[in-house]
Structure 1
Amino acid sequence: MTTRADSLPPGAHLPINRCNLPASILGSLSYQAHPVPLRLDGVEELHRSLFAALDALPDPGERARLFMTHMAAAFSLEHPEEAGHSDTAHDRVRATYLRLLRGWAFDPDGQEGAVFKGWVESRFGLLPRHHGGPIRDFSGDTYRRYLEARSRGLYGSNALEAQLDLLYAYCQVELARQRPGQTHLTLYRGVNRVADFEVLQEQSRNRRVVLLNSLNSFTPERERAGEFGDFILEVQVPLPKVIFYHRLLPGVLRGEDEFVVLGGVAEVECATH
Protein backbone atom coordinates (compact mmCIF):
# COMPACT_ATOMS: atom_id res chain seq x y z
CA MET A 1 0.00 0.00 0.00
CA THR A 2 1.35 3.42 -0.95
CA THR A 3 1.09 6.49 1.29
CA ARG A 4 -0.05 9.81 -0.12
CA ALA A 5 2.51 12.58 0.28
CA ASP A 6 0.04 14.68 2.29
CA SER A 7 -0.77 11.86 4.74
CA LEU A 8 1.07 10.78 7.86
CA PRO A 9 2.65 7.36 7.17
CA PRO A 10 1.17 4.53 9.28
CA GLY A 11 4.46 3.86 11.07
CA ALA A 12 4.69 7.45 12.26
CA HIS A 13 1.65 7.58 14.55
CA LEU A 14 -0.50 5.72 17.05
CA PRO A 15 -4.20 4.96 16.50
CA ILE A 16 -5.16 6.72 19.74
CA ASN A 17 -4.05 9.82 21.64
CA ARG A 18 -5.28 12.19 24.34
CA CYS A 19 -6.37 15.24 22.41
CA ASN A 20 -9.34 16.31 20.32
CA LEU A 21 -7.88 15.26 16.94
CA PRO A 22 -6.33 11.93 15.95
CA ALA A 23 -2.67 11.88 14.99
CA SER A 24 -3.52 10.98 11.38
CA ILE A 25 -5.21 14.38 11.05
CA LEU A 26 -3.04 16.68 13.18
CA GLY A 27 0.07 15.23 11.56
CA SER A 28 -1.17 15.67 7.99
CA LEU A 29 -0.36 18.26 5.36
CA SER A 30 -4.02 19.31 5.39
CA TYR A 31 -3.69 20.30 9.03
CA GLN A 32 -0.63 22.42 8.25
CA ALA A 33 -2.75 24.34 5.74
CA HIS A 34 -5.95 24.48 7.80
CA PRO A 35 -5.19 24.19 11.54
CA VAL A 36 -7.73 24.15 14.33
CA PRO A 37 -7.02 24.35 18.08
CA LEU A 38 -5.64 21.25 19.81
CA ARG A 39 -6.83 20.55 23.33
CA LEU A 40 -5.49 17.88 25.66
CA ASP A 41 -8.06 15.87 27.59
CA GLY A 42 -9.13 17.46 30.87
CA VAL A 43 -6.35 20.03 31.26
CA GLU A 44 -8.41 23.21 30.97
CA GLU A 45 -11.15 21.75 33.17
CA LEU A 46 -8.73 20.67 35.88
CA HIS A 47 -6.98 24.05 36.01
CA ARG A 48 -9.99 26.27 35.29
CA SER A 49 -9.19 28.62 38.19
CA LEU A 50 -5.70 29.30 36.80
CA PHE A 51 -6.95 30.29 33.37
CA ALA A 52 -9.65 32.50 34.87
CA ALA A 53 -7.02 34.28 36.97
CA LEU A 54 -4.73 34.69 33.94
CA ASP A 55 -7.53 36.41 32.03
CA ALA A 56 -7.58 39.15 34.68
CA LEU A 57 -3.87 40.02 34.25
CA PRO A 58 -2.95 42.35 31.36
CA ASP A 59 0.83 42.07 31.87
CA PRO A 60 2.52 38.99 30.32
CA GLY A 61 5.23 39.00 33.00
CA GLU A 62 2.61 38.80 35.72
CA ARG A 63 0.85 35.99 33.89
CA ALA A 64 4.12 34.06 33.62
CA ARG A 65 4.79 34.48 37.35
CA LEU A 66 1.26 33.34 38.21
CA PHE A 67 1.61 30.33 35.94
CA MET A 68 4.89 29.27 37.55
CA THR A 69 3.46 29.79 41.05
CA HIS A 70 0.49 27.63 40.15
CA MET A 71 2.76 24.92 38.72
CA ALA A 72 4.84 24.87 41.90
CA ALA A 73 1.74 24.57 44.08
CA ALA A 74 -0.22 22.12 41.92
CA PHE A 75 2.70 19.68 41.59
CA SER A 76 4.52 20.34 44.91
CA LEU A 77 7.66 21.25 43.00
CA GLU A 78 9.30 23.04 45.91
CA HIS A 79 8.08 20.58 48.56
CA PRO A 80 8.09 17.10 46.98
CA GLU A 81 7.49 15.48 50.37
CA GLU A 82 3.94 16.85 50.17
CA ALA A 83 3.43 14.67 47.10
CA GLY A 84 4.55 11.58 49.01
CA HIS A 85 8.26 11.52 48.16
CA SER A 86 10.30 10.36 51.11
CA ASP A 87 13.74 10.55 49.46
CA THR A 88 13.60 14.22 48.44
CA ALA A 89 17.34 14.32 47.78
CA HIS A 90 17.02 11.85 44.91
CA ASP A 91 17.72 13.33 41.50
CA ARG A 92 14.50 12.13 39.89
CA VAL A 93 12.37 14.03 42.42
CA ARG A 94 13.88 17.27 41.13
CA ALA A 95 12.76 16.51 37.57
CA THR A 96 10.37 19.30 36.55
CA TYR A 97 9.07 20.86 33.36
CA LEU A 98 11.83 23.49 33.61
CA ARG A 99 14.52 20.86 33.86
CA LEU A 100 13.04 19.09 30.83
CA LEU A 101 13.12 22.31 28.82
CA ARG A 102 16.74 22.95 29.77
CA GLY A 103 17.67 19.36 28.93
CA TRP A 104 15.93 19.58 25.58
CA ALA A 105 17.81 22.78 24.71
CA PHE A 106 21.12 21.13 25.67
CA ASP A 107 20.56 17.79 23.89
CA PRO A 108 17.26 16.80 22.18
CA ASP A 109 18.61 13.24 21.98
CA GLY A 110 19.27 13.02 25.72
CA GLN A 111 17.12 11.67 28.53
CA GLU A 112 15.01 14.82 28.87
CA GLY A 113 14.48 14.80 25.11
CA ALA A 114 13.25 11.21 25.33
CA VAL A 115 10.73 12.17 28.01
CA PHE A 116 9.58 15.12 25.91
CA LYS A 117 9.14 12.95 22.79
CA GLY A 118 7.41 10.29 24.90
CA TRP A 119 4.92 12.90 26.09
CA VAL A 120 4.23 13.85 22.45
CA GLU A 121 3.70 10.17 21.67
CA SER A 122 1.27 9.77 24.56
CA ARG A 123 -0.70 13.00 24.14
CA PHE A 124 -0.66 13.60 20.39
CA GLY A 125 0.04 10.11 19.05
CA LEU A 126 3.10 11.12 16.99
CA LEU A 127 5.87 8.53 17.12
CA PRO A 128 9.51 9.66 17.15
CA ARG A 129 11.40 9.31 13.89
CA HIS A 130 14.79 10.12 15.39
CA HIS A 131 16.41 9.88 18.81
CA GLY A 132 20.16 9.34 18.75
CA GLY A 133 19.65 7.90 15.26
CA PRO A 134 16.81 7.20 12.82
CA ILE A 135 13.91 5.17 14.22
CA ARG A 136 12.30 2.96 11.61
CA ASP A 137 12.35 -0.43 13.30
CA PHE A 138 10.32 -0.44 16.51
CA SER A 139 11.96 -3.68 17.56
CA GLY A 140 15.44 -2.27 16.96
CA ASP A 141 18.14 -1.00 19.30
CA THR A 142 17.59 2.72 18.63
CA TYR A 143 13.94 2.60 19.64
CA ARG A 144 14.77 0.41 22.63
CA ARG A 145 17.34 2.93 23.86
CA TYR A 146 14.79 5.71 23.43
CA LEU A 147 12.26 3.76 25.53
CA GLU A 148 14.85 3.10 28.22
CA ALA A 149 15.80 6.80 28.42
CA ARG A 150 12.13 7.79 28.54
CA SER A 151 11.45 5.33 31.35
CA ARG A 152 14.47 6.49 33.37
CA GLY A 153 13.38 10.10 33.01
CA LEU A 154 9.82 9.42 34.14
CA TYR A 155 10.49 6.90 36.92
CA GLY A 156 9.77 8.32 40.34
CA SER A 157 9.06 11.81 39.01
CA ASN A 158 6.11 13.90 40.14
CA ALA A 159 3.48 13.86 37.36
CA LEU A 160 6.03 15.10 34.86
CA GLU A 161 3.83 14.53 31.82
CA ALA A 162 0.92 16.33 33.52
CA GLN A 163 3.25 19.30 34.03
CA LEU A 164 3.89 19.34 30.28
CA ASP A 165 0.13 19.16 29.66
CA LEU A 166 -0.37 22.38 31.58
CA LEU A 167 2.67 24.03 29.99
CA TYR A 168 1.23 23.35 26.52
CA ALA A 169 -2.20 24.69 27.47
CA TYR A 170 -0.65 27.86 28.89
CA CYS A 171 1.51 28.30 25.79
CA GLN A 172 -1.55 28.10 23.55
CA VAL A 173 -3.50 30.61 25.65
CA GLU A 174 -0.59 33.05 25.50
CA LEU A 175 -0.12 32.65 21.74
CA ALA A 176 -3.83 33.30 21.16
CA ARG A 177 -3.70 36.36 23.42
CA GLN A 178 -0.56 37.85 21.89
CA ARG A 179 -1.31 36.96 18.25
CA PRO A 180 -5.08 37.34 17.83
CA GLY A 181 -6.37 36.04 14.52
CA GLN A 182 -2.99 34.61 13.50
CA THR A 183 -2.90 30.97 12.42
CA HIS A 184 0.77 30.35 11.49
CA LEU A 185 4.33 31.33 12.32
CA THR A 186 7.14 31.45 9.79
CA LEU A 187 9.98 29.53 11.42
CA TYR A 188 13.41 28.37 10.27
CA ARG A 189 15.81 25.52 10.91
CA GLY A 190 19.41 25.16 9.77
CA VAL A 191 20.51 21.72 8.54
CA ASN A 192 23.64 20.34 6.92
CA ARG A 193 21.93 17.67 4.82
CA VAL A 194 18.39 17.92 3.51
CA ALA A 195 18.66 14.20 2.77
CA ASP A 196 18.63 13.55 6.53
CA PHE A 197 14.90 14.34 6.46
CA GLU A 198 12.28 11.92 5.19
CA VAL A 199 11.27 13.49 1.90
CA LEU A 200 7.80 12.35 0.84
CA GLN A 201 7.57 14.49 -2.28
CA GLU A 202 9.75 16.93 -4.21
CA GLN A 203 7.40 19.61 -5.49
CA SER A 204 10.11 21.78 -7.06
CA ARG A 205 13.82 22.44 -6.76
CA ASN A 206 13.41 24.23 -3.43
CA ARG A 207 10.06 22.98 -2.18
CA ARG A 208 9.50 19.61 -0.56
CA VAL A 209 7.00 17.71 1.52
CA VAL A 210 8.86 16.12 4.43
CA LEU A 211 8.07 14.08 7.51
CA LEU A 212 9.45 15.91 10.52
CA ASN A 213 10.44 14.25 13.78
CA SER A 214 7.71 14.12 16.42
CA LEU A 215 9.28 17.14 18.18
CA ASN A 216 11.55 19.79 16.66
CA SER A 217 13.35 23.05 17.39
CA PHE A 218 12.94 26.09 15.15
CA THR A 219 13.85 29.77 15.31
CA PRO A 220 11.96 32.81 14.00
CA GLU A 221 15.28 34.33 12.83
CA ARG A 222 16.54 33.22 9.43
CA GLU A 223 20.06 34.47 10.12
CA ARG A 224 20.18 32.50 13.35
CA ALA A 225 19.12 29.32 11.56
CA GLY A 226 21.99 29.80 9.12
CA GLU A 227 24.46 29.33 11.98
CA PHE A 228 23.41 25.68 12.33
CA GLY A 229 23.76 24.39 8.78
CA ASP A 230 24.38 25.05 5.12
CA PHE A 231 20.69 24.78 4.25
CA ILE A 232 17.76 26.64 5.76
CA LEU A 233 14.31 25.09 6.01
CA GLU A 234 11.45 27.58 6.11
CA VAL A 235 8.18 26.23 7.48
CA GLN A 236 4.74 27.70 8.02
CA VAL A 237 4.02 26.26 11.46
CA PRO A 238 0.43 26.19 12.74
CA LEU A 239 0.19 27.92 16.12
CA PRO A 240 -1.44 24.86 17.78
CA LYS A 241 1.75 22.91 17.03
CA VAL A 242 3.89 25.21 19.17
CA ILE A 243 4.59 23.43 22.46
CA PHE A 244 6.83 26.08 23.99
CA TYR A 245 8.90 29.15 23.11
CA HIS A 246 11.60 30.79 25.23
CA ARG A 247 9.86 34.13 25.64
CA LEU A 248 6.85 32.38 27.17
CA LEU A 249 8.66 32.42 30.53
CA PRO A 250 10.89 35.52 30.35
CA GLY A 251 14.11 35.39 32.32
CA VAL A 252 13.75 31.73 33.25
CA LEU A 253 15.62 29.92 30.47
CA ARG A 254 18.80 30.96 28.72
CA GLY A 255 19.43 30.40 25.05
CA GLU A 256 18.36 31.53 21.63
CA ASP A 257 14.82 32.44 20.63
CA GLU A 258 13.73 28.82 20.22
CA PHE A 259 10.32 27.39 19.37
CA VAL A 260 9.61 23.74 20.22
CA VAL A 261 7.19 22.40 17.62
CA LEU A 262 5.19 19.24 16.96
CA GLY A 263 6.14 17.24 13.88
CA GLY A 264 4.24 15.42 11.19
CA VAL A 265 4.02 16.03 7.46
CA ALA A 266 5.04 19.54 6.43
CA GLU A 267 5.66 21.52 3.29
CA VAL A 268 9.02 23.28 3.52
CA GLU A 269 11.07 25.73 1.51
CA CYS A 270 14.74 24.78 1.31
CA ALA A 271 17.42 27.34 0.46
CA THR A 272 21.12 27.94 0.89
CA HIS A 273 22.44 31.08 2.53
Structure 2
Amino acid sequence: MSEVSDVVVSATSHRLPRFAYSALNRCNLPAVILGSCTYQHSPTLLEIDGVAELHSELFSSIEQLPHAEERALHFRQYMRSAFLLDHLDEAGFNPNEQRVKRGKADYLRLLRGWMFNPDGIEAAVLKRWVESRFGLLAQSHRGVLDHRDSPNYQGYQTDYIRGLYNSNALEAQLDVLYSYCQFELARRWPRQLHRQLFRGTNRIETYNRTSHHHDTLCPILLNNLNSFSDDPHLCELFGDVVLEIKVPTSKILYFPELLPGVLQGEGEYLVLGGLYQALEHRGYS
Protein backbone atom coordinates (compact mmCIF):
# COMPACT_ATOMS: atom_id res chain seq x y z
CA MET A 1 0.00 0.00 0.00
CA SER A 2 2.07 2.85 -1.30
CA GLU A 3 1.73 6.55 -1.99
CA VAL A 4 4.15 9.20 -3.14
CA SER A 5 3.20 11.17 -0.05
CA ASP A 6 5.62 9.76 2.52
CA VAL A 7 8.23 12.22 3.78
CA VAL A 8 11.07 11.23 6.08
CA VAL A 9 12.54 13.61 8.63
CA SER A 10 15.81 13.36 10.51
CA ALA A 11 15.92 10.44 12.92
CA THR A 12 17.03 12.86 15.62
CA SER A 13 13.69 14.71 15.45
CA HIS A 14 10.60 13.38 17.22
CA ARG A 15 8.55 16.59 17.07
CA LEU A 16 6.01 17.14 14.32
CA PRO A 17 7.41 19.71 11.83
CA ARG A 18 5.63 23.05 11.81
CA PHE A 19 4.60 22.71 8.15
CA ALA A 20 2.74 19.47 8.96
CA TYR A 21 0.11 20.77 11.37
CA SER A 22 -2.38 23.51 12.09
CA ALA A 23 -2.82 25.25 15.43
CA LEU A 24 -6.58 24.70 15.14
CA ASN A 25 -8.52 21.46 15.23
CA ARG A 26 -11.73 20.03 16.64
CA CYS A 27 -10.55 17.32 19.01
CA ASN A 28 -9.25 17.10 22.57
CA LEU A 29 -5.51 17.19 21.76
CA PRO A 30 -3.50 19.66 19.65
CA ALA A 31 -2.02 18.33 16.43
CA VAL A 32 1.58 18.91 17.54
CA ILE A 33 0.98 16.32 20.29
CA LEU A 34 -1.21 13.75 18.54
CA GLY A 35 1.10 13.82 15.51
CA SER A 36 4.28 13.16 17.50
CA CYS A 37 6.33 10.02 18.10
CA THR A 38 5.66 10.47 21.81
CA TYR A 39 1.94 10.07 21.15
CA GLN A 40 2.63 7.03 18.97
CA HIS A 41 4.22 5.23 21.91
CA SER A 42 1.89 6.57 24.64
CA PRO A 43 -1.50 7.23 23.02
CA THR A 44 -4.60 8.50 24.77
CA LEU A 45 -8.22 8.70 23.65
CA LEU A 46 -9.01 11.10 20.81
CA GLU A 47 -12.50 12.61 20.75
CA ILE A 48 -13.98 14.87 18.08
CA ASP A 49 -15.84 17.79 19.64
CA GLY A 50 -19.57 17.24 20.15
CA VAL A 51 -19.94 13.79 18.59
CA ALA A 52 -20.57 11.87 21.81
CA GLU A 53 -23.19 14.41 22.89
CA LEU A 54 -24.96 14.74 19.54
CA HIS A 55 -25.03 11.00 18.85
CA SER A 56 -25.37 9.60 22.37
CA GLU A 57 -28.42 7.57 21.26
CA LEU A 58 -26.31 5.59 18.79
CA PHE A 59 -23.63 4.64 21.29
CA SER A 60 -26.01 3.83 24.13
CA SER A 61 -27.95 1.56 21.75
CA ILE A 62 -25.02 -0.39 20.34
CA GLU A 63 -23.53 -0.79 23.82
CA GLN A 64 -26.29 -3.31 24.49
CA LEU A 65 -25.65 -5.41 21.36
CA PRO A 66 -23.30 -8.39 21.90
CA HIS A 67 -22.42 -9.17 18.26
CA ALA A 68 -20.33 -7.00 15.92
CA GLU A 69 -22.62 -7.75 12.95
CA GLU A 70 -25.63 -6.44 14.88
CA ARG A 71 -23.79 -3.30 15.88
CA ALA A 72 -22.66 -2.67 12.30
CA LEU A 73 -26.23 -3.07 11.03
CA HIS A 74 -27.53 -0.73 13.72
CA PHE A 75 -24.82 1.81 12.84
CA ARG A 76 -25.75 1.79 9.17
CA GLN A 77 -29.44 2.16 9.99
CA TYR A 78 -28.66 5.03 12.33
CA MET A 79 -26.62 6.80 9.66
CA ARG A 80 -29.48 6.47 7.16
CA SER A 81 -31.89 7.93 9.70
CA ALA A 82 -29.70 10.65 11.22
CA PHE A 83 -28.53 11.99 7.86
CA LEU A 84 -31.72 11.21 5.86
CA LEU A 85 -29.69 9.13 3.40
CA ASP A 86 -32.82 7.38 2.11
CA HIS A 87 -34.90 10.59 2.00
CA LEU A 88 -32.77 13.17 0.27
CA ASP A 89 -35.78 15.37 -0.45
CA GLU A 90 -36.24 15.84 3.32
CA ALA A 91 -32.57 16.86 3.52
CA GLY A 92 -33.31 19.70 1.08
CA PHE A 93 -32.25 18.12 -2.23
CA ASN A 94 -34.27 19.06 -5.29
CA PRO A 95 -32.81 17.39 -8.42
CA ASN A 96 -34.72 19.76 -10.68
CA GLU A 97 -32.84 22.74 -9.23
CA GLN A 98 -29.36 21.27 -8.97
CA ARG A 99 -26.87 21.34 -11.80
CA VAL A 100 -24.42 19.05 -9.96
CA LYS A 101 -26.17 16.13 -8.28
CA ARG A 102 -24.11 15.01 -5.27
CA GLY A 103 -26.93 13.96 -2.96
CA LYS A 104 -25.96 10.29 -3.03
CA ALA A 105 -22.42 10.99 -1.84
CA ASP A 106 -22.09 9.52 1.64
CA TYR A 107 -19.46 8.07 4.00
CA LEU A 108 -19.51 4.70 2.20
CA ARG A 109 -18.89 6.34 -1.17
CA LEU A 110 -15.97 8.24 0.34
CA LEU A 111 -14.44 4.99 1.63
CA ARG A 112 -14.90 3.26 -1.72
CA GLY A 113 -13.45 6.27 -3.53
CA TRP A 114 -10.35 6.23 -1.33
CA MET A 115 -9.79 2.53 -1.89
CA PHE A 116 -10.11 3.02 -5.64
CA ASN A 117 -7.87 6.10 -5.77
CA PRO A 118 -6.17 7.69 -2.71
CA ASP A 119 -5.56 10.83 -4.79
CA GLY A 120 -9.11 11.21 -6.09
CA ILE A 121 -11.95 13.60 -5.24
CA GLU A 122 -13.27 11.46 -2.38
CA ALA A 123 -9.74 11.20 -0.97
CA ALA A 124 -9.44 15.00 -0.97
CA VAL A 125 -12.60 15.22 1.15
CA LEU A 126 -11.17 12.67 3.59
CA LYS A 127 -7.80 14.45 3.83
CA ARG A 128 -9.47 17.82 4.37
CA TRP A 129 -11.65 16.27 7.09
CA VAL A 130 -8.47 15.08 8.86
CA GLU A 131 -7.08 18.62 8.63
CA SER A 132 -10.26 20.10 10.13
CA ARG A 133 -10.80 17.60 12.94
CA PHE A 134 -7.23 16.67 13.93
CA GLY A 135 -5.11 19.53 12.56
CA LEU A 136 -2.81 17.23 10.58
CA LEU A 137 -2.15 18.91 7.22
CA ALA A 138 -2.11 16.95 3.99
CA GLN A 139 1.40 16.55 2.60
CA SER A 140 0.49 15.10 -0.76
CA HIS A 141 -2.42 14.91 -3.19
CA ARG A 142 -1.49 14.01 -6.76
CA GLY A 143 1.96 15.29 -5.82
CA VAL A 144 3.69 17.13 -2.99
CA LEU A 145 1.71 20.00 -1.40
CA ASP A 146 4.69 22.25 -0.78
CA HIS A 147 2.96 25.65 -0.62
CA ARG A 148 -0.51 27.10 -1.00
CA ASP A 149 0.21 28.81 -4.33
CA SER A 150 1.42 25.62 -6.00
CA PRO A 151 -0.65 23.94 -8.74
CA ASN A 152 -0.77 20.77 -6.64
CA TYR A 153 -2.28 22.59 -3.68
CA GLN A 154 -4.81 24.39 -5.86
CA GLY A 155 -5.76 21.05 -7.39
CA TYR A 156 -6.22 19.57 -3.92
CA GLN A 157 -8.52 22.41 -2.92
CA THR A 158 -10.48 22.03 -6.15
CA ASP A 159 -10.97 18.31 -5.58
CA TYR A 160 -12.10 18.96 -2.00
CA ILE A 161 -14.63 21.59 -3.04
CA ARG A 162 -15.96 19.40 -5.86
CA GLY A 163 -16.30 16.48 -3.47
CA LEU A 164 -18.08 18.42 -0.73
CA TYR A 165 -20.25 20.65 -2.94
CA ASN A 166 -23.97 19.93 -2.82
CA SER A 167 -23.47 16.92 -0.56
CA ASN A 168 -25.22 15.88 2.63
CA ALA A 169 -23.15 16.70 5.75
CA LEU A 170 -20.26 14.50 4.61
CA GLU A 171 -17.82 15.73 7.24
CA ALA A 172 -20.36 15.15 10.02
CA GLN A 173 -20.89 11.62 8.68
CA LEU A 174 -17.13 11.02 8.93
CA ASP A 175 -17.19 12.28 12.52
CA VAL A 176 -19.65 9.54 13.44
CA LEU A 177 -17.78 6.91 11.39
CA TYR A 178 -14.53 7.66 13.24
CA SER A 179 -16.26 7.55 16.63
CA TYR A 180 -17.99 4.27 15.76
CA CYS A 181 -14.67 2.80 14.62
CA GLN A 182 -13.12 3.79 17.95
CA PHE A 183 -16.04 2.23 19.83
CA GLU A 184 -15.60 -1.03 17.90
CA LEU A 185 -11.84 -1.18 18.39
CA ALA A 186 -12.29 -0.75 22.15
CA ARG A 187 -15.12 -3.30 22.23
CA ARG A 188 -13.28 -5.98 20.25
CA TRP A 189 -9.78 -5.42 21.67
CA PRO A 190 -10.37 -3.64 25.01
CA ARG A 191 -6.78 -3.70 26.25
CA GLN A 192 -5.06 -3.09 22.91
CA LEU A 193 -3.73 0.44 22.40
CA HIS A 194 -1.76 -0.39 19.22
CA ARG A 195 -1.95 -2.54 16.12
CA GLN A 196 1.14 -3.70 14.24
CA LEU A 197 0.54 -2.59 10.65
CA PHE A 198 2.52 -2.53 7.41
CA ARG A 199 2.92 -0.31 4.37
CA GLY A 200 4.86 -0.71 1.13
CA THR A 201 6.95 2.03 -0.49
CA ASN A 202 9.35 2.39 -3.41
CA ARG A 203 11.02 5.68 -2.32
CA ILE A 204 12.96 4.77 0.78
CA GLU A 205 16.41 5.45 -0.79
CA THR A 206 15.50 9.12 -1.30
CA TYR A 207 14.60 9.67 2.34
CA ASN A 208 16.71 11.79 4.68
CA ARG A 209 17.61 9.68 7.70
CA THR A 210 20.67 9.31 9.89
CA SER A 211 20.96 5.54 9.46
CA HIS A 212 20.61 3.44 6.33
CA HIS A 213 20.48 0.04 7.99
CA HIS A 214 17.37 -1.66 6.68
CA ASP A 215 15.83 -2.50 10.07
CA THR A 216 16.67 0.72 11.92
CA LEU A 217 13.79 2.33 13.77
CA CYS A 218 13.57 5.85 12.33
CA PRO A 219 10.96 8.63 12.48
CA ILE A 220 8.99 9.16 9.29
CA LEU A 221 6.37 11.74 8.43
CA LEU A 222 3.35 10.23 6.70
CA ASN A 223 0.59 11.98 4.83
CA ASN A 224 -2.33 12.98 7.04
CA LEU A 225 -4.31 9.89 5.93
CA ASN A 226 -2.77 6.61 4.76
CA SER A 227 -3.57 3.05 3.77
CA PHE A 228 -2.07 0.21 5.80
CA SER A 229 -2.44 -3.56 5.97
CA ASP A 230 -1.96 -6.15 8.69
CA ASP A 231 -0.41 -8.49 6.08
CA PRO A 232 3.27 -7.68 5.39
CA HIS A 233 3.40 -10.05 2.42
CA LEU A 234 0.57 -8.16 0.71
CA CYS A 235 2.49 -4.91 1.18
CA GLU A 236 5.45 -6.34 -0.77
CA LEU A 237 3.25 -5.97 -3.86
CA PHE A 238 3.20 -2.20 -3.34
CA GLY A 239 6.90 -1.48 -2.86
CA ASP A 240 10.36 -2.91 -2.44
CA VAL A 241 10.49 -1.77 1.20
CA VAL A 242 7.87 -2.67 3.78
CA LEU A 243 7.46 -0.31 6.72
CA GLU A 244 6.39 -1.94 9.98
CA ILE A 245 4.69 0.53 12.29
CA LYS A 246 3.13 0.30 15.73
CA VAL A 247 -0.04 2.31 15.09
CA PRO A 248 -2.18 3.68 17.95
CA THR A 249 -5.73 2.37 17.64
CA SER A 250 -6.89 5.94 18.34
CA LYS A 251 -5.51 6.95 14.91
CA ILE A 252 -7.51 4.38 12.94
CA LEU A 253 -10.48 5.68 10.94
CA TYR A 254 -11.44 2.37 9.36
CA PHE A 255 -10.35 -1.27 9.67
CA PRO A 256 -11.34 -4.43 7.73
CA GLU A 257 -14.65 -5.91 8.87
CA LEU A 258 -15.75 -2.74 10.61
CA LEU A 259 -18.75 -2.85 8.27
CA PRO A 260 -19.15 -6.53 7.26
CA GLY A 261 -20.55 -7.10 3.79
CA VAL A 262 -20.30 -3.44 2.77
CA LEU A 263 -16.75 -3.13 1.42
CA GLN A 264 -16.10 -6.68 0.26
CA GLY A 265 -12.53 -7.73 -0.40
CA GLU A 266 -10.96 -4.56 0.99
CA GLY A 267 -8.29 -5.32 3.60
CA GLU A 268 -7.18 -1.74 4.18
CA TYR A 269 -6.77 0.16 7.40
CA LEU A 270 -7.17 3.94 7.09
CA VAL A 271 -4.72 5.56 9.49
CA LEU A 272 -4.23 9.19 10.51
CA GLY A 273 -0.76 10.52 9.76
CA GLY A 274 1.94 12.42 11.59
CA LEU A 275 5.32 11.20 12.80
CA TYR A 276 5.89 7.49 13.34
CA GLN A 277 8.87 5.39 14.22
CA ALA A 278 9.06 2.55 11.71
CA LEU A 279 11.05 -0.57 11.01
CA GLU A 280 12.18 -1.00 7.39
CA HIS A 281 12.13 -4.45 5.80
CA ARG A 282 13.53 -5.24 2.37
CA GLY A 283 11.68 -8.43 1.55
CA TYR A 284 9.50 -9.87 4.24
CA SER A 285 9.62 -13.50 3.16
Assess same fold via TM > 0.5. Answer: yes
Corresponding letter in the other structure for 1:164: L
| Counterparts of 1:257 and 1:164, CA distance in 2 | 19
TM-score, scaled relative to structure 2: 0.91
- How far residue 228 of structure 1 moved from its aligned partner, in angstroms, is 1.2
Cα offset, 1:255, TM superposition: 3.1
Equivalences for 1:145-184 in 2 at 5 Å? 145-184=155-194
* Alpha-carbon distance between aligned partners in 2 of 1:202 and 1:52, rounded to the nearest angstrom: 49
* Aligned 8 A contact 2:95 2:101 in 1: no
Contact in 2 for aligned 1:5/1:201 (Cα 8 Å): no
Unaligned runs of 5+ in 1: none
Partner of 2:274: 264
2:3 corresponding residue in structure 1: none
> 2-side partners of 1:159 and 1:53: how far apart?
23
Amino acid at match of 1:206: D
Correspondence for 1:71: 79
Among 239, 250, 255, the alignment partner of 1:240 is 250
In 2, distance between residues paired with 1:256 and 1:156? 28
Identity, % of aligned pairs? 48
Question: 8 Å contact 1:186–1:237 — kept in the other structure?
Answer: yes
1:17 counterpart = 2:25? yes
Q: Which residue of 1 aligns with 2:90?
A: 82
**Which region of structure 1 is more displaced relative to structure 2, 202-211 or 229-238?**
202-211
SS at match of 2:257: helix
In structure 1, the residue matched to 2:5 is none
SS of 1:92's partner is coil
Task: Work out the CA distance in 1 between the residues paired with 2:205 and 2:154.
Answer: 24
Q: Which residue of 2 aligns with 1:255?
A: 265
Equivalent pair of 1:13/1:24 in contact (CA under 8 Å): yes
SS in structure 2 opposite 1:168? helix
Question: Please, which moves more after superposition, 216-225 or 88-97?
Answer: 88-97
Question: Which of 38, 43, 56 does residue 64 from structure 2 map onto?
Answer: 56
Once the two structures are TM-superposed, the CA of residue 136 in structure 1 deviates from its matched residue by 1.4
| One-letter amino acid matched to 2:65 | L
1:189 to 199, 212, 227: 199
Q: CA RMSD in A?
A: 1.7
Q: Secondary structure at the match of 2:263?
A: coil
Shift of 1:204: 4.9
Q: Aligned partner of 2:50: which letter?
A: G
Alpha-carbon displacement from aligned partner over 1:204-241 (angstroms, at most 9, x marks no partner): 54222110000000000111111111110000000000
SS at match of 1:69: helix
Provide the rounded CA distance (Å) in 1 between the counterparts of 2:129 and 2:74: 24
The superposition leaves residues 37-56 of structure 1 with CA deviations (integer Å, 9 ceiling, x where unpaired) of 10000001101011000011
Higher relative contact order (CA 8 A, sep 6+): 2
SS of the residue aligned with 1:188?
strand
Normalised by the length of structure 1, the TM-score is: 0.95
Offset of 1:203 from its aligned partner?
Answer: 8.0
CA contact (8 A) 1:231 1:271 kept: yes
Count how many residue pairs are aligned between Structure 1 and Structure 2: 271
1:210 aligns with 2:196: no
The 3-state SS of whatever aligns with 1:212 is: strand
Q: 1:184 to 1:109 in 2, by over 3 A?
A: same
CA distance in 1, matches of 2:193, 2:212: 24
The structure richer in helix per residue is 1
Amino acid at match of 1:141: P
CA shift, 1:201, in A, is: 5.1
Residue 96 (structure 1) aligned with residue 128 (structure 2): no
